[in-house]
Structure 1
Amino acid sequence: MATRATDPLPPLDVNLSGFTGPDAGADQPFSKNPRKLWRVSRLGSPLELEQVRTARRSGFTGGKQRGSKLLVARAGMLSELQKLLWAHVAGAPIADQRAVNAALAARVPRRSPAEAQRRSELFSPEVEEQLKQLPRGPRILLVLQGMDASGKGGVVKSVVGAMNPLGVDVAAFGRPTAAQRRQHYLERVIAQLPEPGHVGVFDRSHYEDVLVPAVSGSHSEDQVAERVETLLLFEQELARRGFVIIKVMLHLSPQEQLARLLSRLDSEHKQWKYDPSDADARAQADTYQRVYAALLEATDAAYAPWHIIPADRKWYARLAVQELLIAALADLNLRWPPADYDIEAERRRLLE
């Protein structure tokens, strides 16, 4: 089972930090801890998505103008933290790297014989081999879920786009191909995971492999439950190998979704973004809400938390995701790798 907790994971206790973190200074956007503010575990059980307000500006004072300015202002901090993550993986002393890897792995319970047995039943040999080949090391995995037009692409462009693209891996998961349908459904997901030092973004994700079968009724309740268990075990293994997982559902009202979908039909520059299946999904909105609520609650864990972010205001959703990324990177407690050469000697050589 997932480790349910209201409080977020603490920063890694590795004593490497030379960075003050996102909570210092008067320009922080939110009055409450962003690690807690949108957590599923704070919303009560059973989770009822229709009770979560989609236009609420939780923890934020001000409007669009202030939010847009802060988004630009905080982009520099996010970019610097991304650079620090890559620098650690590329050049930190081995002792520092081992300390961070060990601290990340300690966030998840050790694998038990029962877990190993269950994995052998739920994972294919190919999946186990792929996981075995994953290198250890810190990296971020941002999972974006939400109904059509909830703003996933806008987050990728406006928030993730502020980081160095050489250190960002973005993957979008649509319908599996015929070849992928012959594989275990996790194989195509593992192939898109980020390398250590990178920030990975899933625009839709492995959760589609539970959500779609549950909504369509193509799988029985027992089969859906097995897939949920598979994802829990999968994310545990990722966390052991250094993945910092941030899962976000962009929560959009039916009224705002309708306005955004109609705007796509009204503009020739947006018509390519519309798919007739969007209307089919909208007709099943109640079913999606019910399945989403059960899925988010079942797969929320301290090491892989779900955040439900109100998405009717695009600027607010983007600012919230940005702050989650900043907090996750800062909590790694990394420091700039020290030079392993004589700085003054190298300065003289260059000047000569």
Structure 2
Amino acid sequence: MRKISVVLIVLLLIPMSGLWAGGNDEKAGDDKVVFGIIPSSMSDEWNGYSVENFKYAAAKKGVEVVVLDPEWDGERAQNNLEDLITRGVDHVGVYVYTPEQAQDFINRANEAGVPISFENTKLVGSISGDIVANVAFEYYDFGYEAAKYISQTYPGSKLFYVRGLPGMGIVEEYMRGIEDAIKEFGTIEMTVYRDTSWDTETALNATQDVIASGEKFDVIFANNESMAVGCYNALKDAGMDGDIPIVSTGGGPTGVQMLKDGIIQATIAGPVSLQGLYLFKAMYLYTVKGITPPETYIEPPGVQAITLENLDDNIPWAPSDDLIEMIGGLDSW
């Protein structure tokens, strides 16, 4: 498997101040290294595969991983941080959706003197305090690639965007990317969008409402593959399945099967496997070897439109040594 170079972008934060001993000197070889991970929910496929890749890399290096699952409960996630601090873990990794959420974790971790890193959401210019690494895709890229694919594949179409929930900064970045691509290619228009709670049921309801309203659309872009299922079911109930193509985001095992089953025609793939591996690499090198990432913000590669025709180009989500090789191994930047 080919090796892909990581895209690193400067994150302007308060410089590391020597607050954490692990970042200054190489950790003694006899000390057991323990990392704490706080996901949003292990029931979420995207989040779950990130953690599985993190644990896979940790096993390679003999690092113990404590995963405390808040199951979408923000207050419980904060309690999990307190638990990890009490346990004396060497470094905490947190999956976040908003800079505001991240800031609460930063304040407490800095106060306790525990190194902290983040994944999933780009925090550039939106936080203060000390963090080691921020590993995240650009949501803008997903929106741009989706609208680019639709513009090139379905010119003249009217786009129905089935969005997730605004207010987290995610949908907003998707919209920027979509609008830029529509303007750049000039072959489609977005005629309608509806907000959902990121799940199958609310996506089904949103699609049914638009169908009932009589608003015209020729193609659907759904913010994730669970939502795409709801869109498909609504189309099927209305006798429109097969007439309206659906594009989604993801590229994991569920999405690949949906492509094969004809439920979606394309997915804008992002290899969350690499997100989890980069998070572990940053935490490991900092904690064990005293090596800070070259830049705080680490953007994994691989966002691309995947269809049945180029399915072999999709970067897998399942952990493997090949994926570790793709990020340049675990021992140096």
Give the structure-2-normalised TM-score.
0.31
- Greater per-residue strand proportion: 2
Give the structure-1-normalised TM-score.
0.30
